[in-house]
């Protein structure tokens, strides 16, 4: 799944890095921001019905961050990007894994 692959890439990119290193490394920033954009685009393509089935996933927040990255790239707050990476990716990864497992088990609940 695109979201899980993007999260894995971000995890690899930032492994062992500090916020200060992130701020000094434009290539790292670009890589992380690109993957966050992919996460947001993939979330945007999830049907509203499926979003309602998995309300624990912060779909609107994910899509909102994607919109900021895509439409206001030069206004991206690197501190917010770093906080998102540090605080939100692991819970999101767990939520997406649970949702995918549930989908594999059978039809979506209504």
DSSP per-residue codes, 58-76: -HHHHHHHHHHHHH-GGG-
The upper half-sphere exposure of residue 85, i.e. CA atoms within 13 Å in the direction of its Cβ, equals 29
Q: Is it the case that residue 76 has pLDDT exceeding 80? A: yes
Angle between helix axes 78-87 and 26-44 (nearest 10 degrees) is: 70
- Going by the DSSP 8-state scheme, the letter that residue 109 receives in this structure is P
Share of the chain above pLDDT 90, in %: 75
pLDDT in tens, 12-35: 999 999 999 999 999 999 999 999
pLDDT at 75: 79
Q: List active site positions.
A: 66, 71
More confident residue, 78 or 1: 78
Looking up tokens 């890095």, which residue turns up? 17
């Amino acid at each position: 799944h695109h979201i899980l692959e993007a999260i894995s890439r971000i995890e690899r990119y930032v492994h062992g890095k500090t916020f200060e290193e992130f701020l000094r490394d434009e290539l790292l920033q670009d890589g992380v921001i690109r993957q966050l954009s992919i996460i947001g685009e993939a979330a945007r393509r999830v049907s509203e019905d499926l979003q309602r089935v998995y309300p624990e996933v912060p779909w609107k927040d994910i899509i909102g961050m994607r919109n900021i990255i895509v439409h206001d790239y030069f206004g991206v707050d690197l501190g917010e990007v770093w906080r998102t990476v540090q605080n939100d990716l692991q819970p999101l990864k767990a939520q997406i894994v649970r949702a995918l497992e549930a989908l594999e088990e059978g039809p979506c609940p209504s």
